[in-house]
Structure 1
């Protein structure tokens, strides 16, 4: 099934939805072995939802993949955090994370978001053509993430480079039939570079304690008499840097792309910008930044009639579940009012579910809502002036370049 490969199929990277829809309708669970390990791909909403809600049966613990080259290829050494932990370790990390990510923390960074959105809108409204990805969306999200972590915004170039390399490596063992030594080495070097970078900032915080950023918060917070270890602080900080940067950048870009693809919906939004909040939820449903996530079966399990062996890799295609016609009416249509308060629309899967529901969801929503509203209120038209350049890994709904021009009148 060569057309269904997140790393090697150019057509799938450009538009995976027809393939995912056909596989979802025909099988629901697809057993594949294109890569170094066998994988079981789950595509239906209710099956995905059930697996996310059962961490005692389907674990996110990456150590189950094993060590050596397999673990290195998927950069397991970087993920000593909540995404990769299970059981008691996840419960402890989640409690500490919840303490740090309280609603008041999100709100204290709103002025920083509004300031950088204002700055980027001034640039965008100059009338010149620009890259929606790097010149606009990434500038907003990196400014936000560096403010949250207490890092200098001038490090943006390094941050974006790290994101690109680690995104390229994601799922390598699932999709590549042979180990790519160059990719492996790029990922290893990048991981070591990031670790050294954050270690310097941890040392600085210890020498000069301060308040108001998450590195300091992670070092200080205590739950049930326990604090995070140095390795856990490093991994949590890197998780926030990578996940918060790339996913929200993609989400802002995908909002604009959906506005272009559905001009009637765009007109509806411009006429009523108060629909911004439900519209962002609809973007999350249709074009969620992370298309799939991994789980490992702790024992032999049956999913939609397919037997998954103990230790088997299960790939949950959130983006396929979010377009499941058994759950969502007209799933391929962008409806800004689909998630109006009071409607009975099922929850989307963009942020996962169960105990591993994305801790940074409030931040991503706040950034995207603020940016989307500014675009709606300050532009009449957003013109896509060139075809997009697609990312190298279809596990993410991202493009690397999209030239645009904003028109205010």
Structure 2
């Protein structure tokens, strides 16, 4: 048996001159960026490169290892979590825009203690969230539709109502609702602006400057809101310090990024429920509505949601920074991957959810029954390990409650998904039928995944 080579740096270019080009290329379409490089390396080195090899890139002038296999994502986020940090990787993009300290940017023991506190707080939300989602969904679809609507835009409106209602006790008609939404949009534009510095010329403020100002206003107004209206705070507390922490994290939980992520998963779920046809010609929603066993219906709906998460994760990935020299194991005879101290790892969840090694020969196909079998590994939509997304179960409860409400209301939907990249995102087309250019043209992947062009549907209630 041949001896395995010594660990090597990820395959790819180290050219600083290419850094700006690669930054824009990755920002435009991560899937196209990664897939095109893997295909190029595979053509040059067919004997050593598999379909989910770790790719080296220069993005935002950082040395980056892009990890997109299910097992290797798990290795970085869970098995070797102690060798990586989130804070260093996110400081530039996130720290100026969210109140500190927060769960996202803390690591190690500090994060563990903070997470225990927040897991206890979040545990009390479920009993209040489901009735709220039912009410908001019912009201959202109460008006008869006389024309087509942009489904993602509609789901984003519903997501604002759900998250601001859950965490701030706000209704859509409240003045603070509109103010919060506007400030959060400014914050997100500042966070994802490619403009690298804060500038104030007296008459023009950079998006980054506006984003920082929005953060300060949101922090102050959320705390004041909770003090003025005790019932608005979803977490019981008698401690002013705890109330400030709750207000600060509520800015994070109600961010435009969180809203867009929820809208993304709801859009994909609704499309799968209503526009994916079974062999008998019925939609999945029609099939679920006719299911006589409530337990079986819940099991099937949860399987559809988990399959939607696997193929269409709302956040395409997360970042970590290597705090030591780390080794990521590779399969077979390929050399293991060496990640030097100070390098970033970008964990690409879209690739992790479409890894043939984890999901077999049907890895690229939407299978609504896949997760009836509990032994199938879940996708990577919410991360893994000690810093897995705290809101995973809450988001799932929201999505399931929204879907159950729509089915109960007798919602019917008409539309046609023709864009090949969108069909690929949903798992409705074989992977080899969807080119990198299709992803780049038809899908936006940052800050969250959604179709580039509106998906127009007609909605009616029975």
Q: TM-score, normalised by structure 2?
A: 0.72
1:193 is aligned to 2:214: yes
**352, 357, 362: which one pairs with 2:388?**
357
Contact 1:60 1:294 in 2 (8 A): yes
For the aligned residues, what is the CA RMSD?
Answer: 3.6
Contact 1:286 1:323 in 2 (8 A): yes
Which residue is 1:138 aligned to?
Answer: 156
- CA distance in 1 between partners of 2:350 and 2:205 (Å): 27
1:128 is aligned to 2:154: no
**278, 287, 295: which one pairs with 1:271?**
287
Which residue is 1:370 aligned to?
Answer: 401
- Consecutive unaligned residues of structure 1, counting only runs of 5 or more, are none
**135, 140, 148: which one pairs with 2:166?**
148
Query: Bigger CA drift: 239-248 or 180-189?
Result: 180-189
1:115 is aligned to 2:135: yes
Which residue is 2:104 aligned to?
Answer: 83
What are the Cα deviations for residues 44-90 of structure 1, in whole angstroms up to 9, with x where unaligned?
Answer: 1001011111331111123x666xxxx2x555452631121101210
Contact 2:52 2:355 in 1 (8 A): no
Which residue is 1:403 aligned to?
Answer: 456
| 1:11-22 alignment runs, 5 A limit | 12=29, 19=36, 22=39
- Answer with 1 or 2: which has the greater Rg: 2
SS at structure 1 position matched to 2:120: helix
SS at structure 2 position matched to 1:326: helix
- CA distance in 1 between partners of 2:324 and 2:72 (Å): 17
Which residue is 1:106 aligned to?
Answer: 126
Q: How many residues align?
A: 387
- CA distance in 1 between partners of 2:27 and 2:340 (Å): 31
Contact 1:40 1:308 in 2 (8 A): yes
Contact 1:251 1:287 in 2 (8 A): yes
What are the Cα deviations for residues 212-245 of structure 1, in whole angstroms up to 9, with x where unaligned?
Answer: 523x54x6479xxxx5484x44541121012542
| 1:15-54 alignment runs, 5 A limit | 19=36, 22=39, 25-26=50-51, 28-53=53-78, 54=80
Q: TM-score, normalised by structure 1?
A: 0.80
Which residue is 1:241 aligned to?
Answer: 254
Contact 2:86 2:320 in 1 (8 A): yes
- CA distance in 2 between partners of 1:20 and 1:259 (Å): 34
Which residue is 2:7 aligned to?
Answer: none
- CA distance in 2 between partners of 1:196 and 1:112 (Å): 27
* Cα distance change of structure 1 residues 254 and 11 upon mapping to structure 2, 3 Å threshold: same
- Consecutive unaligned residues of structure 2, counting only runs of 5 or more, are 1-12, 42-48, 290-296, 331-335, 423-440
What are the Cα deviations for residues 165-208 of structure 1, in whole angstroms up to 9, with x where unaligned?
Answer: 55556677xxx6x84878993133123213213312313433x4
Which residue is 1:295 aligned to?
Answer: 320
